[in-house]
Amino acid sequence: MRHTRRGVIGLSAAGLLATSAYAAVESTSRQRQPIDLSSPAGNVTAYLKLRASTETRDVLMWFTGRLDLVIPGMSVQPIIDVESLILRRTERLGELSWTVTDWEAALYRPLGESRYLEPGETVRNPHTGLEVTPYHYTEGPVRFRFSDREPRIVGSRDILPNTGKPFSYPWRIVNNDLWMTKSSYIRVPHWLSPEEFPQESSGKELVVATHSSLRGSLADIEDPQVTAVRSDFAYSATSSWLPWMKMGQTPGMVSWAEAGRKLLDLGEAAAAQIEMVRRVHPHWFARPEPWSEFTNMYLQYKTRTAR
């Protein structure tokens, strides 16, 4: 679970690297090396530049959005807003070989409000009418192995399809921007059993479908001096009910709609968000890594109820 190499660049150093990289972008002597997006090598290189970096360093992904309840025969009902920061660390292992690790710190907001929920504060489930308690949560480390083959998750449950195919994500070039998209369809055993958690578990399996897009400048991607491209992010998903919603085996699903962008330094994040993360997730700021054992909202919910 732990890194075997410790030559990982911290966030402050990442900011310096970002400054030098983007000074090169702004120079009049900018270089372009056309990238072959039809090849696995070109495809994964472009994706890593958009998602993280092609060299060893840290970046962050900021995003925000809303969760809705979707129940057959009823209108869609919004329940809560969410905002997250992901520390995303690239380790370049060799030619066309990387490990990218995510540590996420997630916060909830009341619907339509700029403030964050206080720990223990409740919201009303619009379907059941019950007051429920959403817990701010962390997730990770989720460690992805990237190469010219399809990606894998290492060190924790690998929920990705394993077809052995070359790396290939759909892409489009529009108005000199590259759009890289991917979809995932997941069906795995639930972290919480319905026998032990009848209200919190949606059943014996978790069912998730995700669709995400990254957009960045094609000129940046084709610039060999730029290893981490500033990118915008959009994400939508449907999933089984979250445990704090206490929907039990009610037919339906959660609809996620989120958007954000890559940050190259912690100082680019909103001060209020950083302050709240320090209050409820102080361990997220620990270095060289925030934490080493995998966790997520389901495992944290189980721990809370066992107290």
pLDDT above 70: percentage of residues in the chain: 88
Domain count, the chain: 1
State residue 153's pLDDT score: 87
User: What DSSP element (H or E) covers 75?
Assistant: none
Tell me if 65 is assigned to some domain.
yes
Tell me if 41 is assigned to some domain.
yes
Beta bridge partners of 102: 88, 142
Closest CA to 265 of 16, 6, 52: 16
Return the structure tokens found at 302: 């189980």
Tell me if 3 is assigned to some domain.
no
User: Alpha-carbon distance 241 to 66, whole Å?
Assistant: 14
Beta strands in 123-252 (DSSP E): 123-124, 131-132, 137-146, 152-154, 171-174, 177-189, 205-217, 231-239
Residue with tokens 């709609």: 257
State residue 280's pLDDT score: 98
pLDDT of 20 higher than 90 = no
User: Alpha-carbon distance 275 to 291, whole Å?
Assistant: 19
Tell me if 6 is assigned to some domain.
no
Mean pLDDT score, 166-188? 94
At a CB cut-off of 8 Å and minimum separation 6, what does 118 contact? Answer: none
Domain range for 37 is 11-306
What are the tens digits of pLDDT across the range 267-292? 999 999 999 999 999 999 999 999 99
Q: Are 83 and 251 in contact (CB under 8 A)?
A: no
State residue 154's pLDDT score: 87
State residue 226's pLDDT score: 96
Mean pLDDT score, 226-241? 97
pLDDT above 90: percentage of residues in the chain: 82
Average pLDDT, the chain: 89
At a CB cut-off of 8 Å and minimum separation 6, what does 143 contact? Answer: 99, 100, 101, 102, 153, 154, 155, 156
Per-residue confidence band for 1, with pLDDT thresholds at 50, 70 and 90: very low
pLDDT, greater one: 179 or 32? 179
Mean pLDDT score, 212-238? 97
Mean pLDDT score, 158-179? 86
What are the tens digits of pLDDT across the range 35-51? 999 999 999 999 999 99
pLDDT, greater one: 4 or 241? 241
Tell me if 4 is assigned to some domain.
no
Closest CA to 262 of 222, 217, 211, 210: 217
Mean pLDDT score, 157-186? 87
Mean pLDDT score, 179-208? 94
Tell me if 20 is assigned to some domain.
yes
CA quadruple 37, 38, 44, 49: dihedral, nearest 10:
0
